[in-house]
Amino acid sequence: MQVVSTVGLRSDKSLTSRNLRKTTMTTHNYTSRVLDIVLQLKADRTKRPEDFRFSDIFDDEGNQYVNLVQEGGGVHGIALVGFTYVLEEMGIRFLSLGGTSAGSINTLLMADTGHPSSRKSLKIIEKIADKNFMDFVDGGSDARAFVKSLAEGISPMLFLNASRNASEMINNLGVNPGVEFHRWLSGLLFHKSWGELENNIRCLEKELIMMDNHGNERRRLSAEELGIKIAIVAADITTQTKVDFPDMADLYYENPMGQNPADFVRASMSIPFFFEPVRADLSWVNKSDEATRKNWVDRANYHGELPGEVLFVDGGVMSNFPIDLFHKEDQIPNRPTIGIKLGADRRASKPTTGITSFVGNIFDGVRNLRDHEFLVQNPEYKELIEHINVDDFNWLDFAISDADKLRLFERGAEAAASFLRRFQWLDYKNQIRNSLLQSVKPLMWELSGSKGLTEKLASFGIHEDSRLMKRIRHLRERADAYKVLWIDDAFTYGLPVAILDSLNIFTYTVQNSDDARALLLHKNRKNGPETERINLILSDVTRNVEGKKDRIAGIRFAEELAHNQRLKDVPVLLYAHSGEDLLARYRGYEKDDTLELPHNIKNHPKGDTTKHFVFIREVVDCIYENLPGKRAGCV
């Protein structure tokens, strides 16, 4: 049984400020503030519809789907809602969602409010429009005085009020218990467990459409194929781990799918000293179990003794803008991951004018370091990021006025309009494609000679595999490259093709079974040259067939080849699937649990060919075992 610190902690509700002011804010106050921005965007779209393409994923109503990552920033989070509101008004919907601190709050509310196809921002505005954020300052009158001095930046009063809260900081590690925030957020949620929430974000009323660059339908995609997920980032300061909830929740909670989603957000927004950290009891964990220890090493990179309890603080301490959450290497994405940053871009210095700005600048530098490093290594992501100018608002001003709430919302809307006018999706994809082509050149050079092959293969996770190296050297001895036919109607795998090229394997690429069949019959014709033969077929599993998506098209094609006397011995590898996955899919779609895969499908039962070392092994083995005198199938 685990305990979350937001439950049952001290709370002096008699001292909160819930009754100190009366507000009458409604959604109309917010939407009317940005009406002109939305109307102008829609007018621009009518004039130049080609400039408002933002994704390859659409629904039948014409909405476009993207991923979204939102930065943390205290009360600046109101601006995030302004940003997402404008995107939704322009027909953009959200699939995978991620965020830290304030960004995690909006992330959770968006995931909880309706299915992916529905508008969410208006309902979220309803939840925050009339909310007095000082209610969250639930540490009593001294805590409120401390927050006020923080917001006003008055150094003498700040020190005085900090001293009055010293006992809370020392004993509880924060001046506010955070109970009121947890109670408020829990009360807003429709889905009271993480399992319910995950089911909701994957609930598509219809399969979504993947479009080509010209706006033609290529195929339809299910929620499973789209890989929809949610990620909330917190900082485990006990084991020094950046935690991605819910993916890592089972390390900390015995029943992660039954956990209240508000627990994870409360952990993510635990601003150090401002809110008490969230505590997770690990007494339920068998700390001597070898599998448990390995799990922590593999997923958290933690090698020490497991503690009895861990403390979570604001995820921004380790990653305030986790734009890498949905990053996939070596692929051209079918939708962008838009990132919203709270604060101006790093084009101006941040002056230090007093103790408040001094501490704030230190904290900002530390919490943004890791994310800046990722952007340096992946410069193309800068095209996906929009900065909301909130530098003239204090992120800890929980007593923020209604007028400033509206200004923050408007700033978010203005930033969204700027993003929609400048971002060109098709240009961005071309940039990724060119980057992939550039990145594969060093790889081709790196693997170009057998000298140092051990070190080169080690870079792909292959260590001390003398059998594989012997087979690679054998393949490279032939003057003419071996031939692979790759069938994929959405071909995006530049790096795997470069790997094949570096191993003396030439790749033909086609997009459908008809073209593949014609090429095979020609290249593998009777009495044809051995050096022209296609030695291996690589194929996707799902393809459009006669305008309809066939989720076992690759298996059906392999089955057809297995009954062709001339082509039955050509091995087939279905990319990105294990043998077990393929068999389950085949039996499921054919509704026959007695079926076996065609004999020419050579995927290892548990192999994942998206991993480069598995891909190399399976390809090399299949080609080697299909050489003259060895055509008995793959190892």
Q: What is the mean pLDDT of each run of 10 residues along the chain (635 residues)?
A: 38 40 78 97 96 96 96 90 98 96 93 93 90 85 70 50 53 84 95 94 90 84 89 94 93 95 94 90 92 91 93 86 76 90 68 62 58 63 89 83 94 97 91 65 48 64 80 83 83 61 79 88 87 89 78 93 92 87 88 92 82 82 78 37
- 262 and 216 within one domain: yes
14 within some domain: no
What was the pLDDT predicted at 31? 95
- 134 and 237 within one domain: yes
- 309 and 458 within one domain: no
What was the pLDDT predicted at 456? 64
Q: How many helices (H) and strands (E) does the chain have?
A: 23, 19
Number of domains in the chain: 2
Place of tokens 């917001």: 151
- 402 and 340 within one domain: yes
Give CA 506 to chain center in angstroms.
Answer: 33
632 within some domain: no
Q: Are 508 and 534 in contact (CB under 8 A)?
A: yes
Among the listed residues 538, 596, 597, 536, the one whose alpha carbon sits nearest the alpha carbon of residue 571: 536
Q: What is the span of the domain harbouring residue 565?
A: 451-626
What was the pLDDT predicted at 281? 95
261 within some domain: yes
12 within some domain: no
- 501 and 396 within one domain: no
- 525 and 378 within one domain: no
Domain termination residue (choose one: 377, 399, 429): 429
What was the pLDDT predicted at 632? 37
What was the pLDDT predicted at 287? 87
Pair of tokens at residue 475: 């393949």
What was the pLDDT predicted at 356? 56
220 within some domain: yes
- 105 and 223 within one domain: yes
Catalytic residues: 101, 314
- 299 and 189 within one domain: yes
CATH number of the domain enclosing 533: 3.40.50.2300
| Gap between the Cα atoms of 166 and 172, Å rounded | 10
- 594 and 551 within one domain: yes
- 87 and 31 within one domain: yes
Rg (CA), the chain: 28
- 455 and 390 within one domain: no
39 within some domain: yes
Among the listed residues 80, 62, 63, the one whose alpha carbon sits nearest the alpha carbon of residue 71: 80
What was the pLDDT predicted at 89? 98
Cβ density class 448-478: b for 16+ within 10 Å, e for less: eeeeebeebbeebebeebeebbebbeebbee
| First-to-last C-alpha distance (Å) of the chain | 47
Q: 345 by DSSP, 3-state: which? A: coil
pLDDT single digits (tens) 94-111:
999 999 988 999 999 999
- 208 and 90 within one domain: yes
376 within some domain: yes
What was the pLDDT predicted at 429? 86
Q: Are 243 and 236 in contact (CB under 8 A)?
A: yes
β-bridge pairing 548-550 and 543-545: antiparallel
Pair of tokens at residue 36: 């002109």
CATH number of the domain enclosing 184: 3.40.1090
